[in-house]
Structure 1
Amino acid sequence: MALNISACIIAKNEEKNLPRLLESLKGKFDEIILVDTGSTDRTVDIAKQYGCKIYHRKWQGFADARNYAVSKASGEWIWHFDADFELEEEEWRKALYYLNNIPEDILAVNILIKNIGDNLESAGISSNTFIHRNNPKVKWIGKVHETLNVSESYGIPVFVKHYGFQDSAVLRKKALRNIKLLRQELKELDKSSKQYHIKLFYLVQSYAVLSSYDAKYTKQVIKYATKFINEITDETRFFDIYVYVYLIEALLKEERYDEALKKVKEAQNIFTDYLDIVFLEGKTYLELKNYNRAVESFLKFITLTDQHLKNPFILSKGHSFVSDKLLNLPYYIENIIPETVKKSDQYNLGKLIDLWKKRKGEYLGILIVTTAKELNQDISKFLNKFVNLYNNSPKALSFALLYAEHMGYINIKNKIIKRLQKVDPQNSLLYYFSGKEALEKGKYETAFKDLITYFRKTKDLNIIPKIRECLINLNLKEELKKFDEEINNLTKKLKTTSDNKTQQKQNRR
């Protein structure tokens, strides 16, 4: 039976994001309703081009705008989208299947939000209730970080892309705006009410966003997170694990490692296998130079992550995977954990391979590859098994390729390159190896084209000498001058970021 589904959007000055969203919704929904709350750009014109039903509403908070959109919708189901979302075709088909089979007494549906960071990698996965039945009992509440007034929702493994993490200036602006609104709401709410504690959680979250850019906000995170934890009620227990994450991260920034470990243990008493806490446990033990326990925690995080990615709800137990730990994981697997394994006296490459034989996880396999690369150890037998098992994963193939190159395994390297060309023809490493080969043959024009593409994708400063070599041999003096200026500006930016982090660390001392 065909479902009647309305898409609802609230927007203000979203001309940059809206075309991407509407293009992804086109032809899928029975109607697209857009409530504009005061745009002064081309938002309304763009909505008209896509055939949206457009309504105007004076801004009175997020819940008010969403409820107004619902009042104009005729669908049996209502699916809410933010302007910086995108719905892929495969996820739409999955959603139709699940919505057709949801029990009639379920009023709201939880979906997964795949947050996209600056470098277009996943910045974490969160969960939110953006789909609900068109039922007068269902209402949105809250001026900011609005929620549905339903007691429970039904989780389905459907992903929507969210691009809101791409602009750090926007994130800071939103956080400052939210803090102002939340402080106002907290003054008006009964301190014993559920809504008071929910808003207190979002205040902690907003300060946590700001603290990632400016260390002066870290103490505010600790202050309000501690207040929230001391006042946890059964009605707001859903949020407590997330507050622990923000608190532990803040304590680590302040180099209060013993306190951070204490909070890790408290959190694990509430939710044993919550991914973020396991990861933070590893970071804390690493700071305390307890390398055996650090490796133990990181391995647990990696194996749980492999399970989680196969089924996002398998470990949730009512909680969602909300932070940026997945974004951090490849860096830790390549740079931090192998070094920690080397410093440990209880773990070695053989133990990691034995664990993989039992689990067959992708991230665990990548860790073995990067650790073997760090130790210059031969794992060619394992590598062939790993590549064959994950031959459709660009991520797994990329790490395997780097190891094969490092160890000089020409046949395996060529095999992986051919596979990558099929599954991910735009993979940055393909440009690197193609450009490197062309340079060795003196084909400077081809080499420059491929190597500059690799550099644009990765910002790998190690490739700069090879690019300059191409430009010098091609006698492209003007292009060389421009390239050197670009590199100079980039290194200044990186230095400024590094200096700011150093200054923040000194300020905390």
Structure 2
Amino acid sequence: MLLSLCMIVKNEEDNLPRCLESIKDIVDEMIIVDTGSTDDTIKIAKSYGAKVFHFEWNDNFSDAKNFSLEQAKGDWIMTMDADEELSASDKNKVLSLLNNRDIDVFLFQTLSYVGNTPGLETVNNLNIRLIRNHKGYKYMGAIHEQLYNSINPIKGNKVKTEKIIVYHYGYLIKVAIKKDKPSRNMKILEKLLENDPNHNFHLYNMGNEYLRLRKFEKALACFKKAYENFMPNLAYCPKLLLKMIITLEELHRHDEELKMLNTGLQYYPKFTDLEYIRACLFHRQKKYSLAIKGFKKCIEMGEPPLDQYNINDVGGYRAYYALGEIHSELGDYDDAYYYYIETIKAKPNFYMPLYRIAEILVKKGRTIDVTKATLEKFFGERLNVGAYTKLGDIFFGMRKYRVALEYFLKAQEILKTDQNLDYYVGMSQFHLKNYEEAYKNFEKIEEGIRYEQAIYKMILCEIFSNHMENAEKLLHIAKNFKNKNYIVFKSFKNLVEDMECEIISNDKEESKQFANNIFMLLDIIIKVATPEMFEKALQLLNLIENDEVLLRLAKHYYNNGHYNLAYQEFIRSIKMFDRIDKEGVEMMKNILDTPMTVTT
């Protein structure tokens, strides 16, 4: 049985090699239909032996895809997008399906990475991947195209879902921004909805585009209109409910969200995602008994059917971890410890439970040596660079800087030259107030994402060490960076030297951005410098025009354990600017509930 790959592409030079590498060993021909690339897409396709065809783009995905199918000579057609990759472990599974005489269409799992980088966070979809050729199968619909048969209606017994994974990179933030897919998609959908304004599937897809753009009110309006003629047996309807629920959560319309969750679970009682989201809602509302019951039910339910599978592992490690978090909040550390261990068993490469386990061990009075030994066991008998780095990060987060430094140095001994490790070692020394040693490590960083951060830390090292001349030289370097930190750091240096400082900004909107930079600096100084340095830095708040600074300062003190000072600033914020919010009220209540004296 011969297998043809069919793809439509445009300007995919960044993605295409990864895609073609993943399937080149199992396909007999590659059909690449280009709709107007201006980069090296065509050159790359030809380098893999692909047959490249040109198609003039007409805002219709089905037309382009059907053109690609017409070129295929194989017995089977495999469909992929350029920003996708077939799982290496599933290649042989694909080939084994080609000898199945009873099935014409196979659906595979698509795991779409979300966020900044590929990692644990994915969303799931089912997509048609294998189609028997020369049987009349075609696509229809300008966008989010659907498969149909031009000869006979598609029969359910001819379609099968396989747990074969295709990874999708198109939802990653940097990819989405570069490709600007929402604009393209919405243009097509707007035309379709002009002709048929009540088309449920188009409304659902338009809602998805608004949701991706974080235009939640518009998204909800589309979803609600699509929901008016809800038919639970349609393939997209479980996702319609899920997207409505996600949108209601973003809009903080929790009563409606809960009602929709309950309705959804009546329609789809095995839809673990909805049970998980409901338990998360109860958790946020501090309805701990209901949340615990919900997460335990998720574990009982396990993963949902593939057609309802969206958020990965809601029936596994996510539910265990949530139970650990709840019991930790309640002070039930033995139960919390148990669920964190279960989380690690379910997902060994998910490291957040280790941070929590370390905190529990310290709270229960375990010594640092016992805590270190316990955590090291999770990495096996022989620790490598990754283990040392992760352990260093855990103890750094707990403000155990000497222990963190010990692990980072061990990792540094193995790698010798690594700018990330230089930065970690520098930060540990920085928090230990070993400014000279910190400076030496930051100085090793000459490029990349850490360079700018290292320069600013070096400036602080020199200011704290009273090496003002070199601090000034470094500030000249920082002046070329594209942010407002330079002005804040320059003003701080002047304040330390008791020099006259100009107002940073009188503009309220601009001052908001400067306030962010100032509070980031304050957060560093309160941890790594003397009280006198912090007092100097506080004067920066007088150089901007912002009526939220006292409220933010109060929260800053609270988060650093200075509760008396926090309470005083909350009171000042209320008296001077009439500023307080829900989080601030909760913090004030916590302070008053703490067995201590508050001086006002």
Query: Given the two structures, how large is their TM-score scaled by the length of structure 1?
Result: 0.72
User: Does 2:285 correspond to 1:285?
Assistant: no
39-48 or 200-209: which moved more? Answer: 39-48
User: Residue in 1 aligned with 2:230?
Assistant: 232
Q: C-alpha offsets along residues 218-243 of structure 1, whole Å, 9 cap, x if unaligned?
A: 2222222223333222541x322212
Summarize the alignment of residues 313-352 of structure 1 with structure 2, pairs less than 5 Å apart: 315-321=304-310, 341=327, 343-344=329-330, 348-352=332-336
1:482 aligns with 2:477: yes
- Whether 1:259 aligns to 2:272 is no
Paired residue total: 464
* 1:175-231 per-position Cα deviation (integer Å, ceiling 9, x unaligned): 24323423433455696xxxx433332222122112x2xxxx322222222233332
Once residues 392 and 97 of structure 1 are traced to their aligned partners in structure 2, the CA distance between those partners, rounded to angstroms, is 34
How do 1:349-360 and structure 2 match up within 5 A?
A: 349-355=333-339, 360=345
Counterpart of 1:201 (choices 199, 204, 222) is 204
Q: How large is the RMSD of aligned CA atoms in angstroms?
A: 4.9
The offset of 1:53, in angstroms, is 1.0
CA distance in 1, matches of 2:390, 2:102: 47
Compare 413-422 and 377-386 and name the one that shifted more. Answer: 413-422
Larger of the two Rg values belongs to structure: 2
Q: Report the CA distance between 1:154 and its aligned residue.
A: 2.3
Cα distance in structure 1, aligned partners of 2:224 and 2:384: 45
The separation in 2 between residues aligned to 1:493 and 1:270, in whole angstroms, is: 50
Residues 483 and 69 of structure 1, relative CA distance in 2, 3 Å threshold? same
2:260 equivalent to 1:269: no
Aligned CA distance change for structure 1 residues 167 and 433 (closer, same or farther; 3 Å)? closer
Partner Cα separation in structure 1 for residue 112 and residue 287 of structure 2: 32
Q: Deviations over 1:91-136 (max 9, x none)?
A: 2452223431563322233333343445313341323222333242
- Per the alignment, residue 165 of structure 1 pairs with 172
Q: Which runs of 5+ in 2 are unaligned?
A: 149-153, 487-509, 518-547, 549-580, 582-600
Q: Conserved in 2, the CA contact under 8 Å of 1:285 and 1:294? A: yes
CA contact (8 A) 1:21 1:83 kept: yes
Quote the residue 1:223 is aligned against.
221
8 Å contact kept, 1:111–1:156: yes
8 Å CA contact 1:432, 1:451 repeated in 2: no
2:91 corresponding residue in structure 1: 95
Q: Secondary structure at the match of 2:241?
A: helix
User: Taking structure 1 as reference, are residues 411 and 51 closer, same or farther at Cα in structure 2, changes over 3 Å only?
Assistant: same
3-state SS of the aligned residue for 2:12? Answer: coil
- Secondary structure (helix, strand or coil) at the match of 2:27 reads coil
Unaligned runs of 5+ in 1: 308-313
**Equivalences for residues 26-175 of structure 1 within 5 A:** 29-60=27-58, 61-87=60-86, 91-92=87-88, 94-101=90-97, 103-117=100-114, 119-122=116-119, 123-127=121-125, 128-149=127-148, 151=156, 152-167=159-174, 170=177, 173-175=180-182
Flag the 1:234–1:339 CA change in 2: closer, same or farther, 3 A.
Answer: closer
State the partner residue of 1:362. Answer: 347
Separation in structure 1 between the aligned mates of residue 291 and residue 194 of structure 2, nearest angstrom: 42
Cα displacement (A) at 1:40: 4.2
Match of residue 375 from structure 2:
383
**Cα displacement string for residues 381-438 of structure 1 (whole angstroms, at most 9, x for unaligned residues):** 75355333998996x986654334537598899679879999x999997454444578
Provide Cα deviations, 1:52-96, integer angstroms capped at 9, x if missing partner: 211122334112211211111122332222222344xxx245222
Contact 1:448 1:470 in 2 (8 A): no
CA distance in 2, matches of 1:365, 1:86: 23
**Contact 1:6/1:33, CA 8 A, preserved across alignment:** yes
State yes or no: 1:371 paired with 2:356: yes
**Aligned residues of 1:110 and 1:130 also touching (Cα < 8 A):** yes
Distance 2:374 2:311 in 1: 33
Between stretches 433-442 and 55-64, larger displacement belongs to: 433-442
Residue of structure 1 equivalent to 2:567: none
Distance 1:340 1:66 in 2: 49
CA contact (8 A) 1:63 1:143 kept: yes
Identity %: 23
Deviates more, 1:410-419 or 1:25-34: 410-419
2:177 corresponds to 1:179: no
Asked if structure 1 preserves the Cα contact closer than 8 Å seen for 2:408 and 2:425, the reply is no
The alpha carbon displacement at 1:487 in A equals 7.0
Shift of 1:37: 1.9
1:342 Cα deviation (Å)? 5.1
**Separation in 2 of the partners of 1:132 and 1:266?**
35
TM-score under structure 2 length normalisation: 0.62
Deviations 1:140-165 (A, max 9, x none): 22210123335433223333342443
Question: How far apart are the structure 1 equivalents of 2:128 and 2:103?
Answer: 12
Q: What whole-Å deviation, never above 9, does each CA across 1:333-368 have from its counterpart, x for those lacking one?
A: 7xx988755544xx6221123345667323798454
Q: Distance in 2 between matches of 1:140 and 1:117?
A: 28
Contact 1:222 1:247 in 2 (8 A): yes
Question: Could you say which residue in structure 2 is the equivalent of 1:310?
Answer: none
Does the C-alpha gap of structure 1 residues 116 and 252 become closer, same or farther in structure 2, counting only changes over 3 Å? closer
Local SS of the residue matching 1:100: helix
C-alpha displacement of 1:478: 5.8
